[in-house]
């Protein structure tokens, strides 16, 4: 298959990534154009031993690191993009690659030419930097004490505050009503046989917050029931995955609320 045919399906996603990374559509497209020009000039630079999308993003990363196309223009970026632009360059790249573009930490390491421990460190940095801007109160709905403690440690390490842990539907709804959390982490199957999904559904009419379901029963979220969209982490989970999804949920939750406010203006 010709190289053009190999990379063509991935170009729209690369443009999305480039725009988010640079904060501007014109700057992002300039980097994508630079990638295409480099490939036309020398197709051999494309890493044939990588999965095509990984290889394409890896070339983009090299050009991003070596070519100063993203010159400040003095034009302020839209408010919905300021959070991601405020991240330092490396943590911004890792956050976008893992949380938005859906690459695994191993693939992100290949793209950026760094180690997986460096990826994990950058995810932590991104979470902390986002937390400094959107630090919030977190409600954990989880019936396993050790898992609940692990989740609390993870989100507190990102700069958030855990307002409480609920083991049942009733406890969860009561805690949410008293505390008005800014983020909910919820298991689905709870200790008394009740449902974390039903508890969240009961909360959401009164709470405009992102919800992350952390569950061993992901099929329970494939029934078409609300809430939607859903951030989902499958047990057993990796700490880095939870951290990335927490940052993603808060970033895009803030972005959606900004868009709603602009639409109402």
Quote the mean pLDDT of the chain. 82
pLDDT over 90 (residue 221): no
How far is Cα 106 from Cα 234, in angstroms, rounded to an integer?
18
Q: Please write the tens of the pLDDT for every residue from 153-186.
A: 999 998 899 999 999 999 999 999 998 899 999 9
Confidence of residue 1 (pLDDT cuts 50, 70, 90): low
Count each helix (H run) and each strand (E run) in the chain, helices first: 12, 5
HEC-encoded secondary structure of 191-236: CCCCEHHHHHHHHCCCCCCCEEEEECCHHHHCCCCCCCCCEEEECC
Give the residue from 190, 184, 107 showing the smallest Cα distance to 144: 190
Q: How far is CA 197 from CA 168, 204, 224, 242, in A?
A: 11, 11, 12, 18
| CB-based contact 20:83 (threshold 8 Å) | no
Confidence of residue 254 (pLDDT cuts 50, 70, 90): low
Rg from Cα positions in the chain: 20
Q: What is the full DSSP assignment across 98-143?
A: IIIS---HHHHHHHHT--HHHHHHHHHHHHHHHHHHH--EEEEE-S
Does residue 166 sit in helix, strand or coil?
Answer: strand
Quote the CA–CA distance of 28 and 70 in Å, as a whole number: 8
Q: Which domains does the chain carry? A: 1-75 (1.20.140.160), 135-234 (3.40.50.2300)
Cα gap 140→120, rounded to integer Å? 23
Instruction: Tell me the angle at which helices 11-22 and 52-66 cross, rounded to the nearest 10 degrees.
Output: 30
pLDDT band at 222 (very low <50, low <70, confident <90, very high): low
Please count the other Cβ atoms lying within 10 Å of the Cβ belonging to residue 170.
13
Choice among 86-95, 114-123, 232-241 with the minimum mean pLDDT: 86-95
pLDDT at residue 90, as a whole number = 84
Q: Which residue has the tokens 């958030």?
A: 160
Tell me which of 101 and 73 has the higher pLDDT: 101
């Amino acid at each position: 298959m010709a190289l053009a045919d190999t990379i063509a399906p991935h170009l729209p996603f690369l443009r999305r990534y480039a725009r988010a990374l640079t904060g501007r559509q014109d700057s992002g497209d300039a980097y994508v154009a630079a990638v295409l020009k480099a490939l036309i000039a020398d197709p051999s630079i494309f890493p044939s031993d990588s999965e095509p999308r990984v290889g394409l993003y890896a070339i983009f990363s090299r050009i991003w690191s070596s070519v100063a196309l993203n010159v400040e223009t003095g034009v302020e970026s839209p408010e919905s993009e300021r959070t991601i632009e405020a991240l330092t360059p490396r943590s911004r790249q890792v956050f976008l690659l893992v949380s938005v573009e859906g690459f695994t930490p191993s693939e992100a390491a290949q793209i950026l030419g760094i180690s997986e421990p460096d990826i994990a460190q950058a995810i932590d940095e991104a979470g902390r930097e986002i937390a400094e801007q959107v630090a919030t109160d977190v409600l954990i709905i989880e019936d396993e004490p050790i898992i609940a403690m692990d989740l609390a440690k993870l989100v507190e390490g990102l700069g958030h505050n855990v307002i409480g842990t609920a083991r049942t539907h009733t406890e969860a709804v009561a805690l949410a009503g008293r505390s008005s959390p800014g983020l909910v982490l919820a298991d689905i199957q709870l200790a008394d046989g009740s449902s974390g999904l039903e508890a969240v559904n009961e909360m959401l009419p009164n709470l405009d917050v992102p919800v992350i379901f952390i569950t061993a029963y992901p099929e329970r979220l494939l029934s078409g029931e609300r809430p939607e969209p859903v951030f989902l982490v499958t047990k057993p989970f990796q700490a880095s995955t939870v951290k990335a999804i927490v940052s993603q949920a808060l970033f895009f939750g803030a972005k959606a609320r900004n868009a709603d406010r602009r639409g109402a203006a």
